[in-house]
Chains A and B, each alone.
Chain A
Amino acid sequence: MTLEICYILAAILFIVGLKRLNSPTTARNGNMLSAVGMFLAVAATLCSGDLDYRYIVAGLVIGGAIGGAAARMIEMTAIPEMVALFNGFGGIASLLVGWGEFHSGRTELGSGTLAAIGFAVVIGGVTFSGSVTAYGKLSGKIAGRPVMFTGQQLANAILLIVTLICSALMVAGPGFAADYRLFAVIAVLSLVLGVLAVLPIGGADMPVVISLLNSYSGLAACAAGFVILNKVLIVSGALVGASGIILTKIMCKAMNRSLTNVLFSGFGATVASHGAKTEGAVNPMTPDDAYYVLEAARSVVIAPGYGMAVAQAQHVVRELGQLLEDNGCEVHYAIHPVAGRMPGHMNVLLAEANVPYDQLVEPDAVNSIMETVDVGLVIGANDVVNPAARDDKNSPIYGMPVIDIARARTVFVLKRSMASGFAGIENPLFFRNNTRMLFGDAKSTVSALVASFKA
């Protein structure tokens, strides 16, 4: 009875905690409440009865030490891969809980429980191996580009169907020994499926994949909840599942693509140049000349992208923004939802660099005033500022909502080289009359601008 009440309280704290995430002023407190809820659920479970504490203490100590150290040491630029890995750990934990219950239940398991175990193992397995693959791509340990082979979709479909058939057979229950073989097949196939499902997805589509895996990790917890008939697992798992689904939807909308397209098309694998040929010349500029324009500017919009994270340029960018403001200029940071490698990635990096969150605005908020902006500063972003998405019906990204930076009076693009973005699409922005290219490492270019302001 007390246990159930503690679980209800924990669920309430999770809900209130998520609710308080609706504003940056209350978010930290919300996360704290959610953690208290988790503590309550764990403490109540520990006190719930006849438990052998040896393995429990060992597991909590080892896991706590690893998790604590990882959370403390991680660089903010590496948050996407860390979240991916943690997602995977949640998935494998659900798989293992399903396995343990299966092992100890033996012949006494009803078909409902067996079905729940099947779900926990399949979703948990796909979440784990998919997340580890995503981690590999995000951290650069394996190639970030889409890995495709002929018949890939067919192979994945067959794999999924076989996994489901095995699960159905297991639920039908031919006997424990045969069930155990089926169980092993299901677990292995799920793990293979997770890898194969994430391999064809390119690095720039990772925001969608992480969101989706986030949702899966919640659903895996939910399935584990059905295995042990525990309501707090079901409620919390469902909340996380819903959260991941919403984020997935937002990310797809921000790219003007369907989820199926993101998951199966291998976008960016074919580097064919679609769309109209771009005309005009590239106009390079030195930071010294750029300084004079910025010095005279009354309003500046900064559009950061993944390149800023790679160059670790967020701190110098903030310094430049501050100097511009001190110079009487209005500064906004326009953040595209899919800039970076996970939803909100740029916001966290700029928050780390001490940029106030009210300066971080969504594309819609600046697009309407773009004509009045003196300088648009593009730092390591490419496709999210591509005007072809608005003007060129033949472009593969036509219709994708972009930051309309091309309409600013002057645009500075900080870029390593003339290479195209993830989609292999030419960006006409670079060839426009009002665009100046500042080639080189984003961090050193911005540092040079900062130095000019200070001189």
Chain B
Amino acid sequence: MEATVYLLFILVLSIFLGFELISKVPSTLHTPLMSGANAISGITIVGAILLAGRQEDPVSAYIGAAALVFATINVIGGYLVTDRMLAMFHAKDKSNPKDRN
């Protein structure tokens, strides 16, 4: 019980921190924000690894392996596509030949 309360405490503080952080993100970056945040939500990968590696219970390991595939797609795909998007954002720079073609 005490452990749960402690975790709830962390949860509430993190939500407030999240509000503070995200409300400062400009609307230009909302799509990369969303896909980047999505990649972070793939943190379930940690739970999936622990489950997939469980030796004493094969059924749980199968379920964990399936969870791991989905979570890994979420993490790898999410970070890579966010990086691809963010690489395209650039400021106005007249000396940059890419702007002038």
Residue numbers of A with Cβ under 8 A of B are 14-15, 17-19, 21-25, 27-28, 30-32, 34-35, 38, 41-42, 45-46, 48, 50-53, 55-56, 58-60, 62-64, 66-68, 70-72, 74, 76, 79, 82-83, 86-87, 89-90, 92-94, 96-97, 99-101, 103-104, 112, 210-211, 214, 217-218, 220-222, 224-247, 250, 322, 335, 337, 342-345, 347-348, 351-352, 354, 356-360, 362
Q: Given the interface contacts A31-B36, A243-B33, A246-B19, does A233 sit within 8 Å of B47 by beta carbon?
A: yes
A311 to B10 CA separation, bound complex (whole angstroms): 47
Taking residues whose C-beta sits less than 8 angstroms from the other chain, chain B's interface range is 35 or more
Selected contact of A100 from candidates B3, B45, B55, B60, CB within 8 Å: B60
Contact B21 A19 (CB under 8 A): yes
Contact B11 A97 (CB under 8 A): no
By a CB distance below 8 angstroms, the chain B residues around A104 are 51, 54, 56-57, 59-60
By a CB distance below 8 angstroms, the chain B residues around A221 are 41-44
A23 to B29 CA separation, bound complex (whole angstroms): 8
Closest CB in chain A relative to B7 CB, distance in Å = 6
Q: Given the interface contacts A32-B83, A71-B84, A356-B92, does A93 sit within 8 Å of B34 by beta carbon?
A: no
Contact A90 B79 (CB under 8 A): no
Can you spell out 6 A-B residue pairs with CB atoms less than 8 angstroms apart?
A55-B65, A90-B44, A96-B48, A96-B63, A103-B60, A112-B1
Residue numbers of B with Cβ under 8 A of A are 1, 3-4, 7, 10-11, 14-19, 21-57, 59-93, 98-100
A70 to B48 CA separation, bound complex (whole angstroms): 21
Selected contact of A347 from candidates B21, B27, B54, CB within 8 Å: B27
Selected contact of B81 from candidates A14, A74, A238, A352, CB within 8 Å: A74
By a CB distance below 8 angstroms, the chain B residues around A83 are 31, 34-35, 38
Q: Given the interface contacts A23-B26, A238-B11, does A28 sit within 8 Å of B87 by beta carbon?
A: yes
By a CB distance below 8 angstroms, the chain B residues around A230 are 46-47
Q: Given the interface contacts A64-B76, A71-B77, does A21 sit within 8 Å of B70 by beta carbon?
A: no
By a CB distance below 8 angstroms, the chain B residues around A38 are 39-40, 42-43, 45, 75, 79
Closest CB in chain B relative to A240 CB, distance in Å = 4
By a CB distance below 8 angstroms, the chain A residues around B57 are 103-104
Determine which residue in A60, A79, A101, A220 has the highest number of CB atoms from chain B within 10 A of its CB, and name it.
Answer: A60
Closest CB in chain A relative to B5 CB, distance in Å = 10
Determine which residue in B63, B69, B79 has the highest number of CB atoms from chain A within 10 A of its CB, and name it.
Answer: B69
Closest CB in chain B relative to A346 CB, distance in Å = 9
Known: A90-B70, A344-B28. 13 other contacts (CB 8 A): A18-B33, A45-B49, A55-B61, A56-B68, A68-B77, A83-B35, A86-B77, A94-B44, A94-B47, A96-B63, A234-B7, A343-B27, A343-B31
Name the CB-closest residue of A to B54.
A104
A379 to B10 CA separation, bound complex (whole angstroms): 46
A218 to B34 CA separation, bound complex (whole angstroms): 11
Closest CB in chain A relative to B41 CB, distance in Å = 4
By a CB distance below 8 angstroms, the chain B residues around A21 are 25, 29, 32-33, 36
By a CB distance below 8 angstroms, the chain A residues around B16 are 242
By a CB distance below 8 angstroms, the chain A residues around B47 are 94, 97, 101, 224-225, 227-228, 230, 233
Contact B10 A79 (CB under 8 A): no
Selected contact of B53 from candidates A14, A55, A96, A235, CB within 8 Å: A55
Contact B50 A72 (CB under 8 A): no
A89 to B39 CA separation, bound complex (whole angstroms): 10
By a CB distance below 8 angstroms, the chain B residues around A352 are 85, 88
Contact A56 B49 (CB under 8 A): yes
By a CB distance below 8 angstroms, the chain B residues around A222 are 11
A290 to B73 CA separation, bound complex (whole angstroms): 47
By a CB distance below 8 angstroms, the chain A residues around B89 are 24, 27-28, 351, 357
By a CB distance below 8 angstroms, the chain B residues around A210 are 34
Contact A52 B72 (CB under 8 A): no
Selected contact of B44 from candidates A64, A93, A344, CB within 8 Å: A93
Contact B52 A345 (CB under 8 A): no
Contact B71 A93 (CB under 8 A): yes
By a CB distance below 8 angstroms, the chain A residues around B90 are 24, 351, 354, 356-357
Selected contact of A27 from candidates B63, B86, B99, CB within 8 Å: B86
A337 to B69 CA separation, bound complex (whole angstroms): 34
Q: Given the interface contacts A67-B80, A357-B89, does A243 sit within 8 Å of B22 by beta carbon?
A: yes
Q: Given the interface contacts A24-B89, A103-B60, A247-B34, does A59 sit within 8 Å of B28 by beta carbon?
A: no
